[in-house]
Amino acid sequence: MDKTSPLSPEIPSPAYICPFDQACSYLDAAGKELKLDQGLLEILSNPRKVVTVSMPVKRDNGEILVLAGHRVQHCDVLGPYKGGIRFHPAVTLREVSALAMLMTWKCALLGIPYGGAKGGIAINPKTYSTNELERISRRYISELIKDIGPSVDIPAPDMGTSAREMAWMMDTYSVNIGNAVPGVVTGKPLSIGGSLGREMATGRGVMIIVREALADKGKSLEGTRIAIQGFGNVGGAAAVLLHEAGAKIIAVSTGSGGVFAENGLDISEVKAYAKENNRKILGFPHAKPISNAELLTLPCDVLIPAALENQITEENVNQIQANLIVEAANGPVTLEANQALEARGVTVLPDILSNAGGVVVSYLEWVQGLSYLFWDEEKVNSEMESLMVKAYRKVIEQSQMRKISPRLAAYVLGVGRVAQALSDRGLYP
Ligand code: NAD
């Protein structure tokens, strides 16, 4: 794909940070470190398939809405494509392409036999009724029916989608194929072949990475001061599990703002408050209100950005006080900010490692579905934990051996495995 051509109707502002260019920069750096052949690098810089469908959908008032639905399949050299579907107003084809590429490296890094993909629709799901969201989800999957399937491309939830959307998508695919095909999506409800442990998986993976990184510094979770941006699927689960493990969660936030407590928040109380207040936590009575910008620069031991991309940038990087940043969201630290943090000796554990718990349990869900044998939650969690710890250890080992940052080490491992497979398979024809 031409990195400079406009892939979507967005009009970049001067402050615009292109996620696809960022993803290609990390790939280039890994390629350089691995001394990759230029031709291989060129193949890996381009998504294999980019699909944008025009989706007419009827609103509840009868009005017809035409939405653009994207699916980008980056590379399937290791196995079927795998990646989430995002419903968020900021979705663009460039962002989806970047996230698809990240999924390729993430799956390879974790040693799971998938290639990377991503999908998305630029909508704010909060402004649609449940019936409208069902029609959007079903139309999206029916438009893409020839491009997905349990051995082709397996979608999963991402921002703005959940088990509910996966159930509609699985049903739409199955009705069109003529039989139930649970393996077409992961992150499904348990009633139709979902896996125990999937809901908390990404947050649990984040907790495991924080725990391992602290242990390497001779510390434990007990009493460690942690700030978390985002209190959704990932940030919320990470907060619960880290709190249970003894960490002090001093601040959490949602899109409308956050809360701070010097001596740590009672996360179960914050959760209950969010449940009662339409997922907002601003106003939680036992803490001080705090903005998202303030949360990022709090004095703390660990900072976990678990909301959106491009949150730690050149603008605020000098105010960041944490010594360990664990990227729970995709791409929350920009390239420039990452360089500045590395220069200051701050450890940044990259998204393709830290938030991989979700895709690992998606893989375990797929394996259980294919083998018609379902595991208890303990087994799911322990299989996931062993893959996460193994990947973390390999990243640290590479980083020390090559004297490179953990981020570059993670890319070297992921890109290296895909490049090796590509060169072993050879080019057709
Ligand atoms: P989510 O929609 O469940 O939660 C997102 C959270 O971020 C919410 O609390 C929301 O209020 C908050 N938020 C939104 N805009 C914000 C803003 N401007 N500032 C601060 N907070 C804001 O989404 P999620 O599934 O938790 O995903 C979060 C991130 O993690 C995304 O980058 C996603 O790609 C990544 N991720 C998710 C999974 C998964 O399994 N869900 C797996 C891997 C990576």
Q: Residue 46 maps to which CATH number?
A: 3.40.50.10860
Residue closest by Cα to atom 18 of ligand 1: 255
Domain check: are 23 and 146 in the same one?
yes
User: Tokens 């629709």 correspond to what residue?
Assistant: 121
Domain check: are 57 and 176 in the same one?
yes
In which band, very low, low, confident or very high, does the pLDDT at 17 lie, cut at 50, 70 and 90?
Answer: confident
Domain check: are 248 and 307 in the same one?
yes
Structural domain span for residue 60: 19-184
CB-CB contact of 72 with 52 (8 Å): no
Cis peptide upstream of residue 350 (ω within 30 degrees of 0): no
Would the CA dihedral through 153, 158, 163, 165 be positive or negative?
negative
Is 322 strand, coil or helix? coil
Number of domains in the chain: 2
Q: Which residues pair with 371 in a beta bridge?
A: none
Token pair for 224: 């460690």
Ligand 1 within 6 A of 150 CB?
A: no
Domain check: are 226 and 310 in the same one?
yes
Ligand 1 within 6 A of 231 CB?
A: yes
Domain check: are 50 and 160 in the same one?
yes
Residue closest by Cα to atom 2 of ligand 1: 159
Report the C-alpha gap between 343 and 169 in whole angstroms: 45
Query: Does position 11 have pLDDT exceeding 90, yes or no?
Result: no
pLDDT of residue 14: 55
Would 4 be classed as within a structural domain?
no
Percent of the chain with pLDDT over 70: 97
Ligand 1 within 6 A of 292 CB?
A: yes
Average pLDDT over residues 28-55: 97
Residue closest by Cα to atom 36 of ligand 1: 329
pLDDT of residue 16: 74
Query: Does position 354 have pLDDT exceeding 60, yes or no?
Result: yes
Average pLDDT over residues 400-420: 97
Domain check: are 56 and 145 in the same one?
yes
pLDDT of residue 67: 98
Ligand 1 within 6 A of 274 CB?
A: no
Which among 99, 103, 233, 363 is the best mutation to test ligand 1's pocket, defined by most ligand atoms within 8 Å of the CB? Answer: 233
Domain check: are 93 and 242 in the same one?
no
pLDDT of residue 13: 57
Would 402 be classed as within a structural domain?
no
Domain check: are 33 and 144 in the same one?
yes
Would 27 be classed as within a structural domain?
yes
pLDDT of residue 293: 96
Query: Does position 94 have pLDDT exceeding 90, yes or no?
Result: yes
- The model's pLDDT over 156-176, given as tens digits with 9 standing for 90+, comes to 999 999 999 999 999 999 999
pLDDT of residue 33: 98
Query: Does position 9 have pLDDT exceeding 50, yes or no?
Result: no
In which band, very low, low, confident or very high, does the pLDDT at 1 lie, cut at 50, 70 and 90?
Answer: very low
Q: Among 301, 333, 365, which residue terminates a domain? A: 333
Average pLDDT of every residue of the chain? 95
Give distance in angstroms: CA of 158 to centre of ligand 1.
8
Would 421 be classed as within a structural domain?
no
Cα→Cα distances 153→47, 360, 391, Å: 14, 16, 24
Residue 288 annotated to the active site: no
pLDDT of residue 2: 40
Report the C-alpha gap between 36 and 41 in whole angstroms: 7
Token pair for 24: 């290609």
Q: Among 129, 153, 184, which residue terminates a domain? A: 184
Q: What's the predicted TM-score (pTM) here?
A: 0.94
In which band, very low, low, confident or very high, does the pLDDT at 7 lie, cut at 50, 70 and 90?
Answer: very low
Average pLDDT over residues 115-123: 98
Q: Which residues pair with 304 in a beta bridge?
A: 228
Give distance in angstroms: CA of 289 to centre of ligand 1.
20
Domain check: are 153 and 270 in the same one?
no
Would 359 be classed as within a structural domain?
no
Domain check: are 179 and 259 in the same one?
no
CB-CB contact of 20 with 32 (8 Å): no
Would 322 be classed as within a structural domain?
yes
- The model's pLDDT over 288-323, given as tens digits with 9 standing for 90+, comes to 999 999 999 999 999 999 998 899 999 999 999 999
Kindly report the CATH number assigned to the domain that includes residue 312: 3.40.50.720
Annotated catalytic residue within 118, 146, 288, 379: 118
Domain check: are 35 and 150 in the same one?
yes
Give distance in angstroms: CA of 321 to centre of ligand 1.
22
Would 346 be classed as within a structural domain?
no
pLDDT of residue 352: 98
Domain check: are 180 and 205 in the same one?
no
Is 177 strand, coil or helix? helix
Q: Which of 414, 427, 412 is closest to 116 using CA atoms?
A: 414
Least confident of 7-16, 43-52, 239-248, 325-334: 7-16
C-alpha angle 150-153-159 in degrees, rounded to nearest 5 = 115
Would 319 be classed as within a structural domain?
yes
Q: Among 273, 299, 333, which residue terminates a domain? A: 333
Sheet holding 248-254, edge to edge: 288-290, 257-260, 248-254, 225-229, 302-305, 324-326, 347-349
